[in-house]
Amino acid sequence: MKAITFQDKQKLKYEDIADPRILDDGDAIIKVHIAGVCGSDLHVYHARETGLDCGTAMGHEFVGEIVEIGKAVRHFKKGDVVLSPFTTNCGVCYYCSIGLTCRCEQNQLYGWVQEGEGLHGGQAEYVRVPMADATLMLLKEGVSAKAGLLLGDNLSTGYYCAEQAGVQPGGTYVVLGCGSVGLMAVLSLKMLGAERIYAVDAVPERLQKAEEFGAATLNFKTTDIVAQIKEVTQGRGVDAVLEIVGSPEAARLSMDLLRPGGTISTVGVHTSQHFSFSPVEAYDKNLTFKIGRCPARHYMNKLMEKARTYDAQISSVITHDFNLKDGVEAYRIFDQKEDGCIKAVLVP
């Protein structure tokens, strides 16, 4: 089958790799209808995250149709159209039972094969899904494939980040990063009742979308963000910062924007070894700090109905559709934020 594969730093390839097959009775094989290109793929693309085998199919966001199931699969049949979270989960271990599905004892991240072990990704014609019964979810009627794709990752992650921020009546919130995940967080803050939302980025099309979703916008390249936020919060800082970038600069800015007693909620994937604020600063701010991977499978249950209600808004962040064969170019355009690209999907 054809897939977009990892070769080396900033080097991907559209090539033939082996078709996936059932390896375990709980597996399903999905024919991919659409696959997302995510900010998380860029960490691999730029070798901020390393270890991936050359020839690994990239990507962890997809919606597709089941074409084959293992003997033990009970909840799904051939022909079902399904979505998946970006990691697999068993549904019965301790972590699955407390809703932290992303830390399932048997979890695997799609698009991560290292020294021959792991799972190929969804930017391909087909993908193998282990523990299909617990991992997959039927795409509900009336929910578009695009909204379903975002529900499997960006929407769940944005909502999780917003929920972790602890929205209170009258609160003021800053979202750092208006990529697809940040934009989903703005929408989620609205769903959770937040009224005063500031969204920060430097890409005009992304800021414009954040404004459309109900945020006031600030460009960090042309504005003194800290001064602006202090001005609108009587010098205090905001109640919570949602950091959805994953850089040391954004982490630093989060601390500078926060009032004492506030919360930093971050889902940005951090790849550095040290925090960019000190224990002293954290102590002096009575900081609440929430960080980590989103338990997307858990949130998919919670949010399928929201995906239906807000389908048009959610899907509107997908600005670019590419044929799978043009996937390498899609990465370039998404990475460079060319042509107003907020999020790209690949269609096999």
Ligand X SMILES: NC(=O)c1ccc[n+]([C@@H]2O[C@H](COP(=O)([O-])OP(=O)(O)OC[C@H]3O[C@@H](n4cnc5c(N)ncnc54)[C@H](O)[C@@H]3O)[C@@H](O)[C@H]2O)c1
Could you tell which of Zn ion, ligand X, none binds residue 104, using a CB distance below 5 to 8 A set by kind?
Answer: Zn ion
| Residue 187 makes contact with Zn ion by CB under 5 A | no
Q: What are the angstrom distances between the C-alpha of 33 and each of 159, 197, 257, 319?
A: 25, 35, 41, 17
Q: Strands across the sheet with 196-201, in order?
A: 216-219, 196-201, 172-176, 238-243, 258-266, 288-291
Query: Looking at beta carbons only, is 96 or 210 nearer to Zn ion?
Result: 96
Please calculate the CA angle 295-300-215 and round it to the nearest 5 degrees.
85
Please report, as residue ranges, which positions from 242 to 261 form the binding site for ligand X (by CB under 6 A): 244-247, 249-250, 253
Give the three-state DSSP class for 165: helix
| Residue 121 makes contact with ligand X by CB under 6 A | no
Residue 93 token pair: 């271990």
DSSP state of 56: P
- Smallest distance from the beta carbon of 80 to ligand X, in angstroms? 25
Q: Which of 200, 248, 187 has its CA nearest to residue 226?
A: 200
The footprint of ligand X on this chain (CB under 6 A) covers a number of residues equal to 32
CA atoms of 114 and 54, how far apart (whole Å): 9
Residue 269 token pair: 């994937």
Query: 37-76 mask for ligand X (x: CB under 6 A)?
Result: -xxx-xx---------------------------------
Q: Which of 12, 5, 87, 3 has its CA nearest to residue 46?
A: 12
Among 29, 104, 147, 303, the residue binding Zn ion under the rule CB under 5 A is: 104
Could you tell which of ligand X, Zn ion, none binds residue 196, using a CB distance below 5 to 8 A set by kind?
Answer: none
- Smallest distance from the beta carbon of 276 to Zn ion, in angstroms? 23
Could you tell which of ligand X, Zn ion, none binds residue 103, using a CB distance below 5 to 8 A set by kind?
Answer: none
| Residue 83 makes contact with Zn ion by CB under 5 A | no
Give residues in contact with ligand X (CB under 6 A).
38-40, 42-43, 153, 157, 176-182, 200-203, 206, 220, 244-247, 249-250, 253, 267-269, 293-294
Give residues in contact with Zn ion (CB under 5 A).
38, 40, 89-90, 93, 96, 104, 153
